[in-house]
Each structure stands twice: as structure tokens, then as C-alpha cells.
């Protein structure tokens, strides 16, 4: 399925703010978990405990300050395209995204059987994958599955992210890459457009392949090394 919204333009600052927001959410959620569990930790002495609690408070504060700084951020580095280990990236994407599924029963699986390298900016493709897996998790109400699978096609690698859950109606499928389109109460409607635009700057692509009662499948095409 072709979606021709390659004209989708996002300012560098909104790109950065959106991506950082996702990553900061991961830090905030893990920091909350640590805070909740701190009473179960046996510290060697009071000084160590105080120092640990202070470190956590500082992290919390720094995260909030970074959040604010992002609102005014204006510049961004160029792509760092290099040889990357595909499996390592897929594992990291699932590891980092699983915090979004903490209140649900979702099986997240990397079914990649390929032992290959790809040409990509590792951090950027990781952010793209986190966005897509986050959307997949958000589309599952309580229980479901998110699978990442891969295959080789000509000189490219196709990465398929597939999730169970409510499908996207045919009408809405035309709009999902548009800036500001969201069906979520707290969504910005920026994620998929940013992913598509980011991949295009790396000679890569993102398409919605299908969305029906079995699954919703997005596919990333990226050059193989
Ligand atoms: N895996 C999916 N299953 C069902 N619907 C999806 C899926 N991925 C995306 N969508 C639909 O596409 C819309 C746009 O997604 P997009 O990631 O661009 O924005 P968002 O998730 O709403 O907000 P944010 O900017 O915070 O990412 C979503 O609101 C949702 O309706
Ligand atoms: Mg999203």
C-alpha cells in the first residue's frame, strides 16, 4: 500500500521535541519504578542511602528541565549513516519499548532470523522502531502480541512490525501519515510522519502493509550492507 505523503515536512525542533519526549518518557517511567522500589533496597549505610536518593532526585529534576529545554531547541545533527547490526537494534527497540506495555499483557517478540548489517543512523532507526512499537502497544487494549520479523529483498532488508488489536479503518489508513492526525486523547499525530521522513533521509522507507482483524503490519525498508 503506497502512501504518498513524502511532502510531509516537520520542523527540526518539533522532530527533536517529539523524539526526545518518547525517550524521556522511558527514563521517567524507569525512574518511577526505582522510586517505588527504593524502600525494598538494603543500603550498606545511611550515607549511601542518602546519596542514592539524592541521585534519583537529581535525575528526576534533570529530566523535567530537559523537557522544558526541548520546547526551545532549534538545531539538529546530520545523519550518521554507518554499518549497524540489525539484530542488536531490534533487541534494543523491544527492550526500551517494553516499559510502555507495563500495564498490559503483551508479548513482544523479535523473530529476526537474519544475521545481517544494515546502512542506517543507528539512533534514528532505533527511534523509528520505538515509535512504531509504541503505536503497536497503544493499539492493544489489554492483551495481545507485537512481533518483529525480517526478510531480505534485493539489496534491502524489510523489517515488519506486526500487532494484534483494533485495525485502522480503510478511510483512516489514508490519513495516518499526515501531520497532526491522531485518534488518541493525548496523541500529537506526529510519530508516523516523523518516522517516514526520517527514513527517507536514510534511503529507507515506511509503509502500512495491511490492517485487518488479524493484524496491523508496518514495514520498514532499509539498505543492506
Ligand atoms: N499499530 C497501529 N494500530 C492501530 N492504529 C495505529 C497504529 N499505528 C498508528 N495508528 C494510528 O495512526 C495515528 C497516527 O499515529 P502517530 O504515531 O503519527 O501519532 P499518535 O501515535 O497519535 O501520536 P504521537 O505523535 O504521540 O505519536 C494514531 O493516532 C492511530 O490512530
Ligand atoms: Mg505514535
Q: Give nearest CA residue, ligand 1 atom 7.
A: 135
How many angstroms is it from 174 CA to the middle of ligand 1?
Answer: 12
Q: pLDDT-derived band of residue 59, with 50, 70 and 90 as boundaries?
A: confident
Q: Say if 2 falls within a structural domain.
A: no
Residues 6 or more apart from 95 whose CB is under 8 A from it? none
Cβ–ligand 1 contact at 192 (below 6 Å): yes
For residues 145 and 56, membership in a common domain is answered with: no
Residues with beta carbon < 5 A to ion ligand 2? 135, 191
Q: Say if 75 falls within a structural domain.
A: no
| Grid cell in block for residue 27 | 527514563
For residues 126 and 196, membership in a common domain is answered with: yes
The atom of ligand 1 lying closest to the CA of 166 is: 4
Q: Say if 6 falls within a structural domain.
A: no
Cβ–ligand 1 contact at 182 (below 6 Å): yes
Identify the CATH number of the domain in which residue 129 sits: 3.30.565.10
Q: Give nearest CA residue, ligand 1 atom 12.
A: 176
pLDDT for position 15:
80
| Grid cell in block for residue 196 | 517516514
Residue 181 has pLDDT above 60, yes or no: yes
For residues 90 and 41, membership in a common domain is answered with: no
The whole-angstrom separation of Cα 218 and Cα 85 is: 21
For residues 58 and 163, membership in a common domain is answered with: no
Give the residue among 224, 206, 211 at the shortest CA–CA distance from 127.
206
Q: Say if 189 falls within a structural domain.
A: yes
Count up the domains in the chain and report the number.
Answer: 2
Cβ–ligand 1 contact at 215 (below 6 Å): no
pLDDT for position 217:
98
For residues 148 and 171, membership in a common domain is answered with: yes
Q: Please give the residue range of the domain that contains residue 191.
A: 82-223
Q: What is the pTM of this model?
A: 0.82
Q: Say if 215 falls within a structural domain.
A: yes
Cβ–ligand 1 contact at 187 (below 6 Å): yes
Evaluate the CA torsion angle 89, 22, 146, 153 in order and state its sign. Answer: negative
Instruction: List pLDDT tens digits, range 148-161.
Output: 999 999 999 999 99
Q: Say if 172 falls within a structural domain.
A: yes
Amino acid at each position: 500500500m503506497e502512501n504518498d505523503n513524502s511532502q510531509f515536512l516537520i520542523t527540526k525542533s518539533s522532530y527533536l521535541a517529539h523524539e526526545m519526549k518518547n525517550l524521556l518518557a522511558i527514563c521517567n517511567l524507569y525512574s518511577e519504578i526505582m522510586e517505588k522500589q527504593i524502600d525494598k533496597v538494603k543500603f550498606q549505610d545511611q550515607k549511601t542511602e542518602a546519596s542514592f536518593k539524592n541521585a534519583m532526585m537529581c535525575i528526576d529534576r534533570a529530566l523535567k528541565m530537559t523537557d522544558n529545554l526541548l520546547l526551545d531547541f532549534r538545531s539538529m545533527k546530520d545523519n550518521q549513516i554507518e554499518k549497524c547490526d540489525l539484530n542488536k537494534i531490534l533487541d534494543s527497540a523491544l527492550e526500551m519499548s517494553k516499559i510502555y506495555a507495563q500495564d498490559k499483557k503483551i508479548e513482544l517478540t523479535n523473530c529476526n532470523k537474519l544475521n545481517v548489517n544494515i546502512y542506517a543512523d543507528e539512533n534514528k532507526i532505533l527511534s523509528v522502531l520505538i515509535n512504531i512499537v509504541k503505536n503497536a502497544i497503544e493499539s492493544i487494549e489489554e492483551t495481545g502480541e507485537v512481533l518483529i520479523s525480517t526478510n531480505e529483498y534485493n539489496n534491502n532488508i524489510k523489517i515488519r512490525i506486526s500487532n494484534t488489536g483494533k485495525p485502522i479503518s480503510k478511510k483512516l489508513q489514508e490519513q495516518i501519515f499526515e501531520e497532526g492526525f491522531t485518534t488518541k486523547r493525548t496523541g500529537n499525530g506526529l510519530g508516523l510522519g516523523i518516522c517516514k521522513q526520517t527514513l527517507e533521509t536514510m534511503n529507507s522507507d515506511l509503509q502500512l502493509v495491511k490492517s485487518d482483524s488479524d493484524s496491523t503490519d508496518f514495514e520498514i525498508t532499509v539498505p543492506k550492507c
